[in-house]
Structure 1
Amino acid sequence: MEENSLVEYGSRRVIITITAIMCALLEIVDTTIVNVAMNEMKGSLGVTLTDIAWVVTAYAIANVIIVPMTSWLSQQFGRKNYFAVSIVIFTVASFFCGQSTTLWEIILFRFIQGLGGGALLVTSQTIITESYPKEKRGIAQAIYGMGVIVGPTLGPPLGGFIIDNWSWPYIFYINIPIGIVATLLTIGFVKSPKYAEKSSLSQVDFIGIILLSVAVGALQYVLEHGQQDDWFDNTAITVLSITSVFSFILFVWRELVFDHPIVNIRVLKDSNLLVGTILSFILGFGLYGSTFVIPIYTQSLLGWTATDAGLLLVPSSLMTAFMMPFIAIMLQKGVSPKYLVSGGFFIFFAYSFWFFKIMTPDTGTEHFFWPLIIRGMGLGLLFVPVTTLSLSTLVGKSIGEGAAFTGMFRQLGGSFGIAIITTLISRWSVQHRANLVPNLDTSDLDVQNRIVALQQSFIQKGFSANESLNKAYQILDVQIIKQSTVLTYMDIFLYLGVLFLCCIPFVLIFIKKGAGKVVDVGH
């Protein structure tokens, strides 16, 4: 079989694996490292927080546009060439991001960086998968998964450290030496598959490219900006939502009737890939959603620094990395992915419910450790079996096409998760505040004593009686807002837990017996 010529052994496989993981980490870390630098960047560039959010949005839109096209682009230009050029684009764009002096410059170069970065993630997965023999694909996905899971949690503490010790351009400059090494290793060691067929210019699906770009670009904008623009009360959000839906429908139709589609939708006929793609969406929802909520909770309510909030998630990621080789071995020995995935969803439910129980306005650091260790175990049980299941029965160029689908839907799941959670935080906080205020009856003795005590503390600091009374009411209001926000976060974790619990019957019903078993189908 031609695909067997891509299997590597010994030191070559080690070098190729390291190169692919290095590139996957580059891409994933860059999706989160900017978050902790946004305050510094808006001050330096003289723009608002809403404006600087486009630095994140531009990268995400470029990512989601390019990911589904990576398999086709690899076939047109050769995987080695495409991968190497993508690393160069990412690295050069990183340099220009650091050099940017205006908002529009950095948005442009972040978009270009996203076009290069989107290719790195999916192509890395394909390269690793094809470098290992079929019976060891579980181990291959475990190695790849370490980068994907650890990456999002490395970004915030690394970004915080760089901001505390240097300045924001260095969050981009750090990519340059890694990019140079990765480019040289790619040129020296990565192979291009021989089954790729190039299209002539007349066969290139330009209409498909435009429809896909419009569909996912508009969707990503809606998800990123929906809450701050008040969703469908905003004309632009409404128009872009309708545009995205119709563009997506036309895109699917185009890809099914065109002889040389930019995205091979027919590969989803593989039932394992279809189920794996759905599970990847849910996994992205949970992974990026919980990674988004925890730093906000610890920084805005508990007063932690960005670095401390980022470091909180590191033990969870290390636990996932520790789990992955053992899960890969279990898959290799024939344990059904359906039971591992079901266990992962149940553990994620337990983690979410645990967080629901421990959240208060002053939860201590010691309360987070074990729930986050549980989270790490759940992610390990989910990621390796889901990715192994998705690609287990694919061969040849279908592997790259399948990896593109799972990568795209994991990203979209994360975008949907963050958008929905952001909306719920905003709306449920108002609702909880409205429910809490009537409980503060000023005729209640406990409430009166609390107000008097606060008033007296301000009088002792030299304020007049009226000023002290107003400040006492202001403090009570701040405490109500804080409590209502905590109640909102509790609700979010509870509903996330219920979502994961509801996934278990789906997994047990739709993952067929023996699906995802990694054996050599050539024998």
Structure 2
Amino acid sequence: MNPWLIATSVMLATFMEVLDTAIASVALPYIAGSLSASNDEATWVLTSYLVANAVILPASNWFALKFGRKNFLVSCVTIFTISSFFCGAAPTLPLMLLARIIQGAGGGALQPLSQAILLESFPPEKRGAAMAVFAFGVVVAPVIGPTLGGWLTDTYSWRYAFYINIPVGIVAVVMISRFVKDPPYIANAKVPPFDNIGFGLLAVWTGCLQVILDKGQEDDWFGAVWIRWAAFFLVTSFVWFLVHSWRKKNPLVNLRIFKDWNFAIGCCLIAMFGVSIYSTITVLPLFYQELLGYTAFTAGLVAGPRGIGSILGMPIIGWLGNKVDPRYLLTFGFLVFGLCSIYFGNVDLDIGPTTLLIPIVITGFALSFVFVPITTQAYGTLHNEQIGNASGIFNLMRNIGGSIGISVAQTLLTRRADSHQNEILNYVPRSSYYYQQRVGQIASYLGRQTNPANATAAARSQVYQQLNAQALLWAFVDVFRWTGLLCFSAVALVWLFRKVKPGRAPAGAH
């Protein structure tokens, strides 16, 4: 069987799942209005999906062994596609949340299953190119998602953000059924009993973590009693989960795989990668919308060229991946992404739609040099039989990193904006000459346009709006620069990898 047909089949499923997450985030305000819900209530459309997704991710290996990887993958794509229809057709918020939970459960296994199938379907010398195809779905989909979601929502309806999955899902089911086959060790596997305790603990700690990250900033983090309780259950269930999974003979998630040095380092790096890419993808469109007044669709268009950079980089990394030490490629990717993030830290309120075009394209190019080599290094010393379990953990770490990145970025924007506002007020108090002069200039102009009696109050309001804009601008600058520093620190971690020969198969592969 041609492995590229297998790659296309599983990449379609991955692309659909990742794209849906990005599209839904853009449509949230429209979903809230249509379903008579507040914006806070509408965020559960994202949270419910992510919780269900996170629970299934590391458990996907057991289900693949139990029901067969191909059958399980086809079932997951089918569940995801059918639930997408019910998400789009939902008349009320509770029905939408129920459909999203089912959709998240169906989508949770798509990434690890697709990655495992790709790694085992290609010979060692083509494995880098295969992961470049997989990276296309994982890296490019979050970039074009906001643009596509904004266009569908503005042109048609938010419901089409979910309906778009239906034709893609049907094609994916047909292709997977036709081209994907189970390896012998899956067909002959002795499946242990289902780990009920491990699955329950996994559901509790991932659910608590996602809810805390999603709602923490709104409720002042640990200033809220319910968040302190959620954190208590998070820590307790997580520690119990670690002890249980490490000691049990056949756990749902085999954590003993972390004894493999390269895989452990790879999980740390993929989490840092998740923090970097998702925080940047979230913050940059917000900068254009909140400070420059762009619409969601226009902001998505401005940030969209990152996908062009990724597409340009995929063939190059697919070729270099089999010839160059992955550590050099990773170093290049993280350094370039970090430098571009530092460059973003020079933004001001006078930039135009194309000012950041080149650095945005370069960040997409750099991302190609991060995702594929991390995968090559992390899986390069594992046996084929370990890949299914490893893939679930690996993708969970990336998703958790992404959730943390989004939450931290939003918190930093709020907290640093307040801090910079106080700094500006201390530097230019209301009694200062500069403040009085500026208010006087604006009041003089407004007095000629409107009622002179109200000109001074209106001038002070405008100055305060300018102050808020400057404070928020510096908050965005802080986030961009700290993202750059995170990427630079990742470079040091890259060189803790043990060398894996380019193009090498996982240990024990034939």
| Residue identity opposite 2:383 in structure 1 | V
State the shift of 1:325 in Å: 2.2
Q: 1:475 aligns with which of 449, 453, 462?
A: 462
| Residue identity opposite 1:356 in structure 2 | G
Maintained 8 Å contact 2:85/2:166: yes
| Residue identity opposite 2:164 in structure 1 | I
Maintained 8 Å contact 2:198/2:241: yes
For structure 1, list consecutive stretches of 5 or more residues without a partner in the other structure. 1-7
Q: Does 1:409 align with 2:401?
A: no
Cα pair distance change 1:56/1:520, threshold 3 Å: closer
State the shift of 1:167 in Å: 0.9
Q: 1:430 aligns with which of 390, 414, 418?
A: 418
Q: 2:479 aligns with which of 474, 492, 500?
A: 492
Q: Does 1:256 align with 2:246?
A: yes
Structure 1: how far apart are the matches of 2:136 and 2:312?
A: 9
Maintained 8 Å contact 1:95/1:172: yes
Which residue is equivalent to 1:122? 112
Cα pair distance change 1:515/1:256, threshold 3 Å: farther
CA deviations over 1:345-369 (Å, ceiling 9, x no partner):
2112211111112x11232122211
Cα pair distance change 1:257/1:446, threshold 3 Å: closer
| Residue identity opposite 1:349 in structure 2 | G
State the shift of 1:439 in Å: 3.1
State the shift of 1:448 in Å: 3.1
Structure 1: how far apart are the matches of 2:219 and 2:105?
A: 26
Q: 1:386 aligns with which of 355, 374, 383?
A: 374
Maintained 8 Å contact 2:272/2:486: no
Maintained 8 Å contact 2:198/2:251: yes
State the shift of 1:314 in Å: 2.5
| Residue identity opposite 2:366 in structure 1 | G
State the shift of 1:446 in Å: 4.2
Which residue is equivalent to 2:125? 135
- Greater shift, 250-259 or 86-95, is seen at 250-259
Structure 2: how far apart are the matches of 1:504 and 1:157?
A: 31
Structure 1: how far apart are the matches of 2:500 and 2:385?
A: 23
| Residue identity opposite 2:504 in structure 1 | V
Maintained 8 Å contact 1:336/1:517: no
Which residue is equivalent to 1:339? 328
Q: 2:360 aligns with which of 372, 380, 388?
A: 372
| Residue identity opposite 2:339 in structure 1 | A
- Greater shift, 76-85 or 118-127, is seen at 118-127
CA deviations over 1:445-499 (Å, ceiling 9, x no partner):
543332123223332333242x221111111111100000000111111111112
| Residue identity opposite 2:427 in structure 1 | N
Q: Does 1:292 align with 2:278?
A: no
For structure 2, list consecutive stretches of 5 or more residues without a partner in the other structure. none
Q: RMSD between aligned alpha carbons? A: 1.7
Structure 1: how far apart are the matches of 2:232 and 2:506?
A: 45
Structure 2: how far apart are the matches of 1:100 and 1:184?
A: 27
Structure 1: how far apart are the matches of 2:102 and 2:284?
A: 30
State the shift of 1:516 in Å: 5.8
Structure 2: how far apart are the matches of 1:156 and 1:385?
A: 27
Maintained 8 Å contact 1:121/1:407: yes
Structure 1: how far apart are the matches of 2:385 and 2:47?
A: 31
Structure 2: how far apart are the matches of 1:478 and 1:165?
A: 32
Which residue is equivalent to 1:148? 138
Maintained 8 Å contact 2:59/2:392: yes
Which residue is equivalent to 1:395? 383
| Residue identity opposite 1:206 in structure 2 | N
State the shift of 1:149 in Å: 0.7
Structure 2: how far apart are the matches of 1:429 and 1:496?
A: 17
| Residue identity opposite 2:497 in structure 1 | I
Q: 1:267 aligns with which of 257, 277, 283?
A: 257
Q: How does 1:88-127 map to 2 (within 5 A)?
A: 88-127=78-117
Q: How does 1:450-465 map to 2 (within 5 A)?
A: 450-465=438-453
Maintained 8 Å contact 1:331/1:518: no
Aligned length: 507
Maintained 8 Å contact 2:377/2:500: no
Which residue is equivalent to 2:191? 199
Cα pair distance change 1:252/1:442, threshold 3 Å: closer
| Residue identity opposite 1:69 in structure 2 | A
Structure 1: how far apart are the matches of 2:506 and 2:387?
A: 15
Structure 1: how far apart are the matches of 2:9 and 2:352?
A: 39
Structure 2: how far apart are the matches of 1:98 and 1:140?
A: 33
State the shift of 1:260 in Å: 2.0
Q: Secondary structure at the match of 1:195?
A: helix
| Residue identity opposite 1:429 in structure 2 | A
Which residue is equivalent to 2:41? 51
- Greater shift, 372-381 or 402-411, is seen at 372-381
- Greater shift, 138-147 or 512-521, is seen at 512-521
Structure 1: how far apart are the matches of 2:302 and 2:374?
A: 26
State the shift of 1:302 in Å: 0.8
Q: Secondary structure at the match of 1:192?
A: coil
Structure 1: how far apart are the matches of 2:55 and 2:141?
A: 21
Maintained 8 Å contact 1:88/1:179: yes
Which residue is equivalent to 2:488? 501
Q: How does 1:177-326 map to 2 (within 5 A)?
A: 177-196=167-186, 197-199=189-191, 203-326=193-316
| Residue identity opposite 1:507 in structure 2 | V
State the shift of 1:135 in Å: 2.2
CA deviations over 1:245-278 (Å, ceiling 9, x no partner):
1111111211122222111111222222111111
| Residue identity opposite 1:375 in structure 2 | T
Q: 1:162 aligns with which of 147, 152, 176?
A: 152
Cα pair distance change 1:386/1:73, threshold 3 Å: same
Cα pair distance change 1:62/1:519, threshold 3 Å: closer
Structure 1: how far apart are the matches of 2:299 and 2:225?
A: 36
TM-score (norm 2): 0.96
Structure 1: how far apart are the matches of 2:50 and 2:248?
A: 28
Maintained 8 Å contact 2:381/2:506: no
| Residue identity opposite 1:476 in structure 2 | V
- Greater shift, 79-88 or 253-262, is seen at 253-262
